[in-house]
Amino acid sequence: MKPFKLYAITGEEFHPGKPMIEVMEEAIKGGCDIIQLRDKKSPRREVLAKAKALRELTLRYGVTFIVNDYIDIALAVDADGIHLGQDDLPLADARKIVGGKIIGISTHAIEEARQAERDGADYIGVGPIFPTKSKEDVVAPVTTSYVRQVAAEIAIPFVAIGGIKLHNVDQVLGAGARRICAISEIVGSPDIQGTCRSFLDKINSAAASPQ
């Protein structure tokens, strides 16, 4: 997959009255290089319509587009990949369906990270680092110590997620993360482009300084 640093996930509850597609365009203009459609509430046909619109947007800007949960919708719109959780279709079975598309897997413990790497995940999510209100059935925070474990041991790309804000991202970067994912801090920001640029400045500074 193309290298990435800043991963934005849709979260329409955080920007009432603002169209999702405009919010995600702001995120891309601010430097997000991977976008995920995550919609747990809308009827499938609405999710499909949003996926089509995001596919068009991401192609226009040349950024990677991932669909959460819905493999059929990812295939229907020719997304770049899918993101699956521990309770979704197992990776090996998903791989049979999506072929060479990107498969991202959520992990909350080092065993899950090892398994995802063995099974051929293209990247893993590592979280939730901090408490978050953006996910209903969320597990307890894994803290930055899990980031340290993954950074030391796992070779495939990993992205830290869960409660990450501009005020605490340095802790996550300090633990070895070089890719950051956020919902509320990005899409709920009154200055989405500025927030994304600030995240990227911090990611780039961390990458430039010796560990």
Ligand X SMILES: Cc1ncc(COP(=O)(O)OP(=O)(O)O)c(N)n1
Ligand Y SMILES: Cc1nc(C(=O)O)sc1CCOP(=O)(O)O
Residues with active-site annotation:
38, 106, 135
CB of 68 to Mg ion, least distance (A): 5
What is the four-CA torsion angle of 53, 54, 59, 65, rounded to 10 degrees? -150
159 binds ligand X (CB under 6 A): yes
Q: With beta carbons less than 8 A apart as the criterion, state whether 168 and 143 touch.
A: no
Name residue 206's amino acid. A
The residue from 5, 12, 85, 86 that contacts Mg ion (CB under 5 A) is: 85
68 binds ligand X (CB under 6 A): yes
Q: For residues 96-115, which are near ligand X according to CB under 6 A?
A: 104, 106
Binding piece for Mg ion, criterion CB under 5 A, among 9-17, 63-71, 117-125, 145-153: 63-71
Triad 22, 42, 98: Cα angle to 5°? 85
Residue 104 contact partner, candidates Mg ion, ligand Y, ligand X, none, CB within 5 to 8 A by sort of partner? ligand X
Give the DSSP H/E element, type plus range, for residue 34.
strand 34-37
CB closer to Mg ion out of 69 and 112: 69
Write 39-46 long-range contacts (CB < 8 A, 24+): 39/10, 39/12, 39/68, 40/69, 40/136, 44/70, 44/73
- Residues in the site for ligand Y, rule: CB under 6 A? 106, 125, 127-128, 132, 134-135, 138, 161-164, 182-185
- Residues in the site for Mg ion, rule: CB under 5 A? 69, 85
